[in-house]
Amino acid sequence: MINSNNPFSLIGKTILITGASSGIGQGIAIACSRQGAKVLLLGRDLKRLNDTLARCENGKDHAGLSLDFQDTDGWTDEFTSFAKENAPIHGFVHAAGISPTVPFKIIKAEQIQETFQLNVFSAIEILQIISKVGIKSPEGMSMVMISSVMSEVGQKGKSLYAMTKAALVALVKSLALEYADKNIRFNAISPSVVNTPLSGKSEYRKDPAAMKQVEDMHPLGLGEVEDVAHAAIYLLADASRWVTGTNMVVDGGYLSS
């Protein structure tokens, strides 16, 4: 039953978030907890993951697990136990990601594999695990992939990153159809530049002229993690119960400029 006083409430929902130790994932974790969700946090750096847990509100049963999705020895068994212990899961946000900038002619197969492993394949493995009976919420679920405006437009040196982000958008469109009868919704969010540790490392930040150019492409200015977190809350909450298969652009006007 939708909460008519606050359709954006996440009270009673358990939300799993990757990339929760930093930036957008951390912002989403904190914002979801403020809306009443129990949050399950995944990240790599245990100390920063615990910092996020300490900043989450409304309850003490939030949980965290440190995993490296690029670990070739595997992480899925440990994750499956964690998911079972904390089931049922109502929502999932995949915010873990890296954003390599590399000219196409020197991209190595190994780098393609590593980038896809984190940005795309880890999400696929998690989706397959949490949509199983015994872990998924029988009432339905909402899955949110953090993509990027790079799924829609290009940029020099971003072919590898853009491929991974476009893959997430393609994924949600088909899964939205495949799982509609089970009331599992799939959507993507495509931000442009958001102030985070990841975007802070970008080359353009070192050059005032290049930085001005990036800022000029954002009529509403650069984004903050809350701007993406509020979109995620909408897609996770019952307010969006009729929304599936979309790519929600959250970009301060970037794609229109």
Q: Is residue 87 a contact partner of residue 134, using CB atoms and an 8 Å limit?
A: yes
Alpha carbons within 13 angstroms on the beta-carbon side of residue 13 total 31
Residues in Cβ contact with 128 at an 8 Å cutoff, skipping those fewer than 6 apart = none
Q: How far is the CB of 2 from ligand NAP (least distance, A)?
A: 29
List Cα–Cα distances, 3 to 7, 84, 238, in angstroms.
5, 27, 8
Q: How far is the CB of 78 from ligand NAP (least distance, A)?
A: 12
Q: Does 64 bind ligand NAP (CB under 6 A)?
A: no
- Candidates 203, 212, 201, 119; CA nearest to 155 is 203
The only residue of 14, 15, 22, 83 in contact with ligand NAP, by rule CB under 6 A? 22
Q: Is residue 41 a contact partner of residue 51, using CB atoms and an 8 Å limit?
A: no
Find the binding residues for ligand NAP in span 185-224 (CB under 6 A).
191, 193-194, 196-199
CB nearer to ligand NAP: pick between 44 and 90: 44
The only residue of 68, 85, 178, 203 in contact with ligand NAP, by rule CB under 6 A? 68
Q: How many residues can be counted in the chain?
A: 257
Q: How far is the CB of 99 from ligand NAP (least distance, A)?
A: 5
Residues in Cβ contact with 134 at an 8 Å cutoff, skipping those fewer than 6 apart = 84, 87
Q: Does 19 bind ligand NAP (CB under 6 A)?
A: yes
- Using CA atoms, how far apart are residues 50 and 139, in angstroms rounded to an integer? 30
The only residue of 13, 25, 65, 249 in contact with ligand NAP, by rule CB under 6 A? 25
Q: Is residue 162 a contact partner of residue 190, using CB atoms and an 8 Å limit?
A: no
Q: Which residues pair with 205 in a beta bridge?
A: none
- Rg of the chain over Cα atoms, rounded to whole angstroms, equals 18
Q: Does 252 bind ligand NAP (CB under 6 A)?
A: no
Q: Does 85 bind ligand NAP (CB under 6 A)?
A: no
The only residue of 89, 97, 126, 185 in contact with ligand NAP, by rule CB under 6 A? 97
Q: Report how many residues bind ligand NAP under the rule CB under 6 A.
A: 29
CB nearer to ligand NAP: pick between 115 and 137: 115
Q: Does 21 bind ligand NAP (CB under 6 A)?
A: yes
Name the one range near ligand NAP by CB under 6 A: 63-71, 101-109, 123-131, 133-141: 63-71
Neighbours of 9 (CB within 10 A): 17
Q: Is residue 29 a contact partner of residue 4, using CB atoms and an 8 Å limit?
A: no
x-marked contacts with ligand NAP along 115-134 as a string, rule CB under 6 A: ---x----------------
Footprint of ligand NAP (CB under 6 A): 19, 21-25, 43-45, 48, 67-70, 95-99, 118, 146, 148, 191, 193-194, 196-199
